[in-house]
Structure 1
């Protein structure tokens, strides 16, 4: 069976769905691996490295000739339509925002697996691309902040005087937030954090941070996810956070609610209340933004309320792609580990009785199996699945991660 590794074409995307290391793993499954020329160049893997690993490098993939297509970013509708009926795709699909592609996959009879839908259970952790890429993004956020902050992160005691450590506040304690806390601590900053899920307090403490407790209702959904606050509760949250934000040198926001617009945690007035020279990094800028006024891929200078300086507001874009070598190393393993569940002796054996396989499946045999996406397509006039189950899982299947690694990413 032919497995194709696509060269990503979306602007800013530098990751690849397979590395030479995972090519060997995939060949070990009995697959013939075709790698599109220069697919791994941006992540440090040249064509020769793939050839040495046993892959065949081709100038351009022909979607219609492939049994399996692995990718990073969501496919274009035209690519989905060009796949043969019964082909399998594995990659990020962004189903809530890429309905045209989902419709094309269903219409073409493609069995697609969206890595965003990997059930959050212990057995599936090695396939969880959201968590692996959030780790990279959380780390990157701190580096971006450190490069822009006009002062040191760590404490310095010198003959010329003592320089106190920078104060870093992280809002949203999922995988990305925890990585941001750990990275800021390693750089020597004094770190505090907040999340609307009470279980996050122990996680923050385990990373060396201080948890900020607000007099706010618990907002934890099933599986440890955060859920959206009502409008009035959201406003109360911002009021309670305002004094903490004002005392911060670096603010990093990572909060997200799966399948929805990112919650607004920080208003423009809160940013203006920070000290001149402070830095705000909004990891959620691409999904609507946790910080009012953030723009993906742009630095914006916001005047402080006292008119004595500015605060730098950084809207993150393609955060994981900014570190393509290790991001690809992790992502490629996620892809290979998922395929290992579905390939036996070089033959596809898709078992929908497996909760991981069933939960990750987006489309199959002309139908949309992920219930929220099927409902969205039905509203927009597209096809909906009669067999779709909530969260995309098989009946009785888990769709969230167990207690470890709880939270938003």
Structure 2
């Protein structure tokens, strides 16, 4: 995979190893629970595996971008997009990959002040990046469906301190901060064991614009499994998601960021009569992602940035470092032209766009 404009990608193997070790410890101490919740076998094949060209504008869409408007916005839609990875949100961190509610709130407010607008992983993968001119997309992802991510209080609102409540609080404080995120869940979504309560939680999230997707049924290390077992782990979870009323999403997140020996098994396969076919596979680290409009974009190896400070290996691999780097190098990050029908970039980057999108390119 070659770099996005001007950046040489370095795969942070050490950091991914830290994520794997920490997550293994979490599963040993806090194993997944809940019933299988399997639904009858069905064909769950997803859409085609390539981001579609930007959609046609709606009647209420802003006017089409022009070279002048793109220049004024300093648009670069071939720039890098941070895909942030979160795990548990706890008042007292028990593992290095945990974050406290205050740490999450601080990071989201930093994003809002820097002009970032959240989109879902599915919107990223589909190339449907609809943020205002001059703004930057960010993808907030939460793994494992932990109780600290989402729970409703007696008032029908997300409980204080949960990830969803913090996202809404930040959106209320910063109206331009769109309250959406992606939750990749396992067999006991948000710690719930009752199928009806699981379905109610998933449907609440979907109705409020969140994406709920597949993180396998029991969170295994897929690299250690046979191809058949890899497909089984994914299909079992896809059946559960289907039974809970979650719309079929084109995205999949690898547990521990660990790829199967047969790498294609993470994106497509079949088990017990049920097929799956994902458009995008997300890793566990460790740098900003390439724009889905860039010709170097690899939909089956999308990196994520672990949310964390700058100690140890995180000195150059986690969110505090990378968000600071993008602030210092604004020409390298994705900045929107505000127009879904065009892809705008400085002229020096125009050779980096996918060939199929050259007809909608604006270079200034």
Rg comparison, structure with higher value: 1
By percentage of residues, which structure has more strand?
Answer: 1
Task: Compute the TM-score of the two structures, normalised by the length of structure 1.
Answer: 0.27
Choose between structure 1 and 2 for higher RCO, CA contacts under 8 A separated by at least 6 residues.
2
